[in-house]
Amino acid sequence: MRRLRGLLLICLILTSVAFAGEFLDGSYNYNVMDLDIAGKIYYAFDFGTTDSEVAKGYIQITDETEYDPKVGYGWLYTEGLFGRRTLTLQGDQARDMVASAEEATFRVNLEPGKYRLTFIFNDINARPSMNLWINDDIYLEKWMLPGLFMKVKFTEIEIKDKPLDITLAADKDIWVINALVISEPRGMK
């Protein structure tokens, strides 16, 4: 019996260590209302369904929001996309999402310059292998989103002579996105 307890304790410790690396990767669980967005916000997109709440100050993006050069943003192709609601966390940005098992690209027209991208990801289920490219450069590769655990990821980019393309894909299951904020950069001056 003592040996069994010892084995269970070792399994619990190993599991905790394995998950700690993911949870402590600099993108831990945030309250969406406390997001610290630096400076001017150029765009704030809330991805979700046509009938879900939209966060104050955000632009609603659904699975049907096709790219329109005159508007300046949207999905290049909407086939295979779907919107879904979850009630796992507070904050309208995290309650709903656009998702797909297929690769999809969200385009935003931006003036040349430096920008900070803040992504919000949340789902009731774990998403084991998500990929995200920013203008053909891999940002997240085979990345796992834990179930019931919101992640906020950010990076800074420079746009030169083409629009911003955010491409999402999943090796297994589906990918999800809840929100994207495009703002002034913090570290790139």
- 143 in the same domain as 96: yes
Q: Is 98 exposed, middle or buried (0-12, 13-18, 19+ CB in 10 A)?
A: buried
User: Which neighbouring-strand residues pair with 116?
Assistant: 156, 183
Mean pLDDT score across all residues of the chain: 82
- 38 in the same domain as 23: no
d(C-alpha 148, C-alpha 89), whole Å? 8
- 21 in the same domain as 37: no
pLDDT at 32: 43
Mean pLDDT, rounded, for 47-71: 94
Mean pLDDT, rounded, for 140-163: 90
Which residue is associated with the tokens 């998950």?
19
pLDDT tens-digit map of 85-137: 876 556 666 678 899 999 999 999 999 999 999 999 988 787 888 999 999 99
- 22 in the same domain as 82: no
CATH code assigned at 49 = 2.60.120.430
- 71 in the same domain as 7: no
Report the phi/psi class of residue 25: left, alpha or beta, with left for phi > 0 and alpha for psi in -120 to 50.
alpha
Q: Is 156 exposed, middle or buried (0-12, 13-18, 19+ CB in 10 A)?
A: middle
Whether 188 maps to a domain, the answer reads: no
HSE of 123, CA atoms in CB hemisphere, 13 A = 23
Hey, how many other C-beta atoms are within 10 angstroms of the C-beta on 138?
11
Give 33's pLDDT tier (boundaries 50, 70, 90).
very low
pLDDT at 16: 42
- 95 in the same domain as 77: yes
Q: For the chain, give the percent of residues with pLDDT over 70.
A: 75
pLDDT at 21: 41
Range of the domain at 84: 31-183
Mean pLDDT, rounded, for 138-148: 88
Give the phi and the psi of residue 10 in degrees, each rounded to 5: -65, -45
Whether 139 maps to a domain, the answer reads: yes
Which pTM value belongs to this model? 0.80
Whether 189 maps to a domain, the answer reads: no
- 85 in the same domain as 7: no
Tokens of 63: 């699975």
SS3 label, residue 151: strand
d(C-alpha 85, C-alpha 46), whole Å? 12
Mean pLDDT, rounded, for 53-81: 96
Mean pLDDT, rounded, for 26-40: 54
- 177 in the same domain as 161: yes
Give 167's pLDDT tier (boundaries 50, 70, 90).
very high
* Sign of the dihedral defined by the CA atoms of residues 59, 97, 19, 168, in that order: negative
- 22 in the same domain as 93: no
Q: How many structural domains is the chain composed of?
A: 2
Whether 158 maps to a domain, the answer reads: yes
Whether 18 maps to a domain, the answer reads: yes
pLDDT at 88: 58
Task: Tell me the residue length of the chain.
Answer: 189
pLDDT at 29: 42
- 8 in the same domain as 49: no
Return the exposure string of 160-189: e unless at least 16 CB atoms fall within 10 Å of the residue's CB, then b: eeeebebbbbbeeebbbbbbbbbbbbeeee
pLDDT at 176: 93
- 20 in the same domain as 88: no
- 175 in the same domain as 107: yes
